[in-house]
């Protein structure tokens, strides 16, 4: 089928796994599994923002460099970054050296702190936008959804930057707010079981 990739183990995966060797472990172990850890959610949001206009492979290959440069995306630490940190990051060849995206990450860390005070956690806020199961379209047939549009608007209203509906949808796909694995993908059932056992944050 055009929408699947047969991995070396002989089992079907989502078609995009065939794009690069590093995609397969990311797909099998991370993509789509539900996450309620604020630091991981913030990291993913930042990396999706940095990806804007680039390929996910570029970001995935630089992820450890990003983690080192941004204190593993501890938003309490990133919120304290100043112009000296911006200059340091602009000289760091291991990441994407884009002033606007760097400054957005710092701004969003400050907004994340505010959101935790207001809502209890990032996870509790993001998971409110989980789409209803009967509202889902066929896997990987959309790049935005009504829920991702709503999440993007809610974050922008709170002062977040570089978070459009497409970025919000990619976050929702990756962090398990929906199971967007293709119907023939061997990982789909594992993700579905993880979602069934997952305790939604409140």
Query: What are the b/e assignments for 134-146, b being 16+ CB within 10 Å?
Result: eeeeebbeeeebe
Distance CA(30)–CA(115), nearest Å, equals 25
Look up 15 and say whether it is catalytic: no
* CA within 13 Å, CB half, 18: 14
Look up 127 and say whether it is catalytic: no
Closest CA to 173 of 18, 14, 22, 31: 31
Out of 31, 56, 127, 160, the active site residue is: 56
Beta bridge partners of 13: 5
Look up 31 and say whether it is catalytic: no
Out of 48, 127, 147, 160, the active site residue is: 48
Distance of CA 26 to the CA centre of its chain: 12
Closest CA to 11 of 135, 154, 181: 181
Distance CA(72)–CA(47), nearest Å, equals 12
Residue 43 · residue 8 · CB < 8 Å: no
Distance of CA 183 to the CA centre of its chain: 21
Out of 15, 22, 26, 103, the active site residue is: 26
Q: Which residues are catalytic?
A: 26, 48, 56
């Amino acid at each position: 089928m055009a929408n699947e990739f047969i991995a070396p183990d002989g089992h079907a995966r989502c078609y995009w796994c065939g794009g690069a060797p590093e995609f397969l472990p990311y797909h099998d172990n991370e993509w789509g599994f539900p996450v309620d850890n604020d630091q991981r959610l913030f990291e993913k949001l930042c990396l999706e923002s940095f990806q804007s206009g680039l390929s996910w492979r570029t970001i995935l290959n630089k992820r450890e460099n990003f983690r080192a440069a941004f204190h593993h995306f501890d938003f309490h630490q990133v919120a304290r970054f100043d112009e000296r940190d911006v200059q340091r990051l602009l000289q760091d060849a291991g990441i994407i050296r884009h002033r606007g995206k760097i400054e957005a990450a710092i701004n969003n860390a400050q907004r994340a702190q505010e959101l935790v005070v207001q809502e209890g956690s990032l996870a509790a806020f993001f998971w409110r936008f989980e789409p209803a199961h009967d509202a889902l379209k066929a896997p990987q047939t959309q790049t935005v959804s009504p829920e991702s549009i709503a999440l993007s608007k809610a974050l922008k209203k709170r002062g977040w930057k570089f978070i459009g509906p497409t970025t919000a949808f990619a976050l929702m796909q990756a962090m398990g707010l929906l199971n967007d694995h293709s119907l023939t993908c061997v990982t789909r059932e594992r993700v579905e079981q993880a979602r069934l056992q997952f305790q939604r944050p409140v």
